[in-house]
């Protein structure tokens, strides 16, 4: 949750209150015909106004939602929104609501890694679930889940596949990451299936699974008391342990703790907390406490894995063979058994198919509008709204002005904003980048230039250390600071405004940026973004990182993350240690790798904007990965040998440590 914003009193007790308020403002504007207040008016929502939405309008919508909760029980945010539309406009045709729902279809697509709802849903689901608890007194339990050792599992699969196929681990890393994603989806399915088996067909309990971060997921359980939710944990953990044992994933080393046998392998661990409307600071403390509880339980589960005959009996052949990474026959046989086990465990789900002909593409909008800058969210929203009204008329639906206005609230779901960083989410970057390339082509043609787009990738390292030290909620505030006050500010200093770049959070601490190379200006020659401009951006980012590192932890939390006990935390951001064993002492605090280069669009033969956007997305990712590897190699080479930060053995020799 970004701080520094004011919420009205009736929402102050909710987690993610700012995001809930923004959502309600949007609905209130659609319901009343008033304008959404600009940011400078948000602190004064209690004023009276016939032009802008006020607290009275927000509370009107809020009262309707409370009534719906009391009358109908918990409703998923999308179903709740449709119920609210029916309440405010009882004569609204159902076919009109269904048509408007298509504009939110992208937001309904499950997260690819887990099959859960997208991360963008987290603020509204959590805030409205707390409102449900506050309104009805019904309990809301939350199962917080953290995956373990995904990086180490990528490395395990890379070594395994490489040995089996006679290739280097680096050359098969993409396949290895796909394998980790595959087992992550299987574990996610295992968790929701186990929870569903416990809930059964109870009408008084709902289940909303959410992807909340890089390796974190969450299951919100409105109507389920916390003691009943906690009673499921042993079964959830048992099922996860059996699945990961069958996939042969209990014995490879942990990338952060290679000397701790209890951390070996891959898995997931869960805990339960009660969701209450006690304010966002209390919510942050509960999340942090859950993180600590998960770390403690992970140790217990890891200890239980050691020399466990029941789990060992489930493992495919070769799982504990010391020659697994050196003997091609052993590796190939083990890999075959692992693939068979995972195929048996995987449950195919039905993909949501979008009617791509129903909604205008961003490429078509860029072609039609021919803007002097990249498409803005306002332009997209207005175009989608106009397109919806045209579609209504083509279907013979006659709507009142109030009905049309209310439906407009449903066409603002794409592209989505990542609540942690305030940027685009990774899913939407290719489409926005593809449309941006179309704008660049048009501007070059109109101005007589042939400038390639500028690309930039920024990876802020040590997110794991920030999470472990500050907790995920405050770490999200750090991500927001990095995106807005480091990357965004660096671009702004060079005269590159928000509408002249596309910025997306790709997960972890990684961001990708596409920058407009020619910026038309009124009554003046266009601004050309030069290599010197981009060198200045690079330096501005590194200067911003240096400034962040010298901020006191308690000062940052007070300004950006609320209030919490910092007595056991480091004094400064720079003092936060990187938990990855091979990086200790080299990437403490916050470190940034930055890749910047022009992208030659004539290298793309495909003219489809989305595929061009995908190509440029992959280009930035690959170049940023190479830049990160090069920087780390140079950093390690500059250190005394042996590296003084290398971990000392603390336990019995592990068969895999020589490979670390």
Tell me how far CA of residue 224 lies from CA of 71, 216, 232, 272, 347, in angstroms: 18, 21, 11, 11, 26
Using 50 as the pLDDT threshold, list the residues of the chain that sit under it.
Answer: 1-4, 350, 352, 354, 356, 605, 644-660
Q: What is the dihedral of CA 578, 592, 437, 424, to 10 degrees?
A: 50
- Which pLDDT score is estimated for 71? 95
- Which pLDDT score is estimated for 649? 33
**What is the C-alpha end-to-end distance of the chain, expressed in Å?**
37
Cβ(134)–Cβ(206) below 8 Å? no
Q: What is the dihedral of CA 570, 573, 578, 584, to 10 degrees?
A: -90
- Which pLDDT score is estimated for 293? 94
DSSP 3-state of 168: coil
Cα–Cα distance, 466 to 589 (Å, whole number): 8
Bridge partners of 526, per DSSP, are none
Summarised one tens digit per residue, pLDDT across range 575-596 is 999 887 666 677 899 999 999 9
Cα–Cα distance, 272 to 218 (Å, whole number): 10
| Among 568, 545, 538, residue whose Cα is nearest residue 461 | 545
What pTM does this model have? 0.82
Cα–Cα distance, 489 to 483 (Å, whole number): 9
Q: Which DSSP category does 485 fall into?
A: I
DSSP 3-state of 569: coil
DSSP 3-state of 416: coil
- Which pLDDT score is estimated for 565? 77
Q: Which CATH architecture does the domain made up of 417-635 adopt? A: 2-Layer Sandwich (3.30)
Question: Which residues have C-beta within 8 Å of that of residue 334, sequence separation ≥ 6?
Answer: 160, 164, 248, 316, 317, 318, 319, 321, 324
- Which pLDDT score is estimated for 602? 56
Write out the residue limits of the CATH 3.30.70.270 domain(s) in the chain: 119-349, 417-635
Cα–Cα distance, 341 to 86 (Å, whole number): 48
Cα–Cα distance, 190 to 210 (Å, whole number): 14
Q: What is the dihedral of CA 444, 447, 450, 454, to 10 degrees?
A: -60
- Per-residue HEC secondary structure of 418-451 comes to CCCCCCEEHHHHHHHHHHHHHHHHHHHHHHCCCC
Cα–Cα distance, 453 to 431 (Å, whole number): 15
Q: How many CB atoms lie within 10 A of CB 95?
A: 12
Q: How many CB atoms lie within 10 A of CB 289?
A: 14
Helix (H) or strand (E) holding 173: helix 173-199
DSSP 3-state of 147: strand
Bridge partners of 595, per DSSP, are 457
Q: Select from 3.40.50.12660, 3.40.50.970, 3.40.50.720, 3.30.70.270 the CATH code of 119-349.
A: 3.30.70.270
Concatenating the DSSP letter of every residue in 510-547 gives EEEEEE-SEEEETTEEEEE--HHHHHHHHHHHHHHHHH
- Which pLDDT score is estimated for 652? 28
């Amino acid at each position: 949750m970004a701080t520094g914003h004011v919420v009205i009193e009736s929402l102050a007790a909710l987690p993610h209150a700012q995001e809930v308020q923004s959502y309600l403002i949007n609905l209130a504007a659609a319901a009343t015909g008033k304008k959404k207040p600009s940011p400078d008016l948000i602190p004064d929502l209690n004023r009276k106004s016939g032009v802008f939405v006020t607290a009275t309008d927000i509370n009107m919508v809020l009262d309707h939602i409370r009534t719906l909760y009391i009358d109908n029980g918990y409703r998923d945010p999308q179903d709740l929104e449709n119920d609210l539309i029916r309440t405010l406009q009882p004569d609204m045709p159902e076919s009109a609501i269904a048509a408007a729902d298509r504009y939110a279809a992208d937001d309904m697509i499950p997260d690819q890694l887990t099959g859960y709802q997208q991360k963008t849903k987290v603020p509204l689901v959590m805030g409205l679930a707390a409102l449900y608890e506050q309104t009805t007194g019904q309990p809301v339990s939350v199962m917080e889940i953290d995956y373990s050792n995904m990086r180490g599992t990528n490395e395990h699969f890379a070594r395994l596949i490489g040995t089996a196929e006679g290739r280097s681990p680096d050359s098969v890393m993409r396949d290895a990451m796909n394998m980790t994603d595959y087992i992550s989806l299987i574990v996610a399915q295992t968790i929701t299936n186990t929870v569903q088996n416990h809930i059964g067909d109870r009408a008084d309990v709902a289940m909303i699974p959410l992807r909340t971060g890089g390796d974190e997921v969450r299951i919100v359980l409105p109507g389920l008391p916390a003691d009943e939710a906690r009673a499921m944990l042993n079964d959830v953990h048992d099922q996860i342990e059996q699945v990961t044992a069958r996939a042969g994933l209990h014995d490879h080393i942990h990338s952060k703790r290679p000397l701790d046998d209890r951390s070996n392998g891959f898995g997931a661990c869960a805990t339960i907390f009660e969701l209450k409307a006690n304010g966002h600071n209390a919510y942050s403390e509960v999340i942090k406490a859950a993180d600590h509880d998960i770390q403690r339980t992970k140790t217990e589960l890891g200890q239980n894995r050691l020399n466990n005959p029941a789990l060992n009996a489930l493992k495919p052949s070769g799982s504990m063979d010391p020659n697994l990474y050196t003997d091609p026959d052993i590796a190939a046989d083990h890999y075959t058994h692992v693939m068979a086990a995972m195929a048996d465990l995987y449950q195919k789900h039905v993909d949501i198919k979008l009617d791509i002909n129903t909604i205008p593409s961003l490429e078509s909008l860029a072609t039609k509008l021919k803007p002097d800058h990249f498409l803005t969210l306002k332009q997209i929203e207005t175009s989608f709204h106009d397109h919806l009204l045209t579609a209504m008329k083509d279907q013979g639906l006659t709507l009142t002005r109030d009905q049309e206005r209310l439906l407009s609230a449903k066409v603002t779901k794409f592209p989505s904003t990542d609540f942690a960083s305030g940027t685009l989410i990774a899913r939407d970057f290719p489409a926005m980048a593809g449309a941006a390339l179309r704008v660049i082509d048009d501007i070059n043609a109109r101005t007589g230039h042939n400038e390639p787009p500028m690309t930039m990738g920024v990876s802020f390292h040590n997110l794991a250390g920030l999470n472990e030290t500050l907790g995920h909620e405050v770490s999200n505030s750090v991500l927001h600071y990095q995106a807005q006050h480091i990357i965004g500010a660096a671009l702004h200093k060079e005269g590159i405004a928000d509408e002249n770049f596309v910025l997306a959070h790709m997960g972890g601490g990684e961001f990708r940026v596409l920058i407009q190379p020619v910026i038309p200006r009124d009554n003046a020659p266009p601004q050309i973004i030069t290599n010197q401009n981009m060198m200045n951006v690079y330096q501005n980012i590194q200067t911003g990182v240096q400034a962040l590192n010298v901020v006191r932890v308690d000062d940052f939390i007070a300004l950006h993350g609320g209030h919490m006990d910092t007595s056991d935390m480091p004094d400064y951001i720079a003092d936060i240690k990187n938990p990855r064993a091979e990086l200790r002492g080299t990437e403490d605090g916050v470190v940034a790798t930055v890749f910047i280069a022009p992208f030659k669009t004539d290298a793309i033969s495909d003219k489809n904007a989305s595929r061009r956007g995908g190509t440029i997305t992959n280009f930035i990712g690959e170049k940023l990965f190479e830049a990160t590897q090069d920087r780390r190699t140079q950093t390690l080479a500059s250190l005394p040998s042996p590296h003084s930060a290398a971990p000392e053995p603390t336990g019995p020799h592990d068969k895999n440590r020589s490979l670390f």
